A = this chain, B = another copy of it.
């Protein structure tokens, strides 16, 4: 067993930027839901593309949510996780939408019209790792060429 260590803000940012799949928790009237989503990261926010009539669109905007990304190594029984918490917003500024579509648009694996962009600021960012003696940046969810 290994001890949990808090990650620095810069480490959380770097790990978050290295990934493309996380999980968004929104609170509906019947309690929380956790939905896997593809995401991207701009200068200051996590961006998620979703369907305008889906669960996330109905219960997310204007409410407190949590977004989580992680990676574990089952062989070594260790891993890291990063969480972003805050109020989810709908991206409705045409200039900002155009800028994001041109640069950091999330690329959903799931088909369907995911035309609604949601934005979660990176203000409340925290992360943890299990154990020491290994480099989280060398254990990323997306294999690098």
A contacts, CB < 8 Å to B: 1-4, 20-21, 23, 25-27, 30-34, 36, 63-68, 70, 72, 74-75, 77-79, 81, 83, 85, 108-112, 130, 141-143
Contacts and interface: CB of A to CB of B under 8 A. Distances in A.
A2 B66 contact: no
SS class, residues of chain A in contact with chain B: strand
The listed residue with most B CB atoms (<10 A of its CB), out of A1, A21, A31, A75, is A31
Contacts of A32: 25-27, 32, 64-66, 85
A64 B34 contact: no
Contacts of A112: 3-4
A105 to B, nearest CB: 14
Contact of A79 (B36, B83, B111): B36
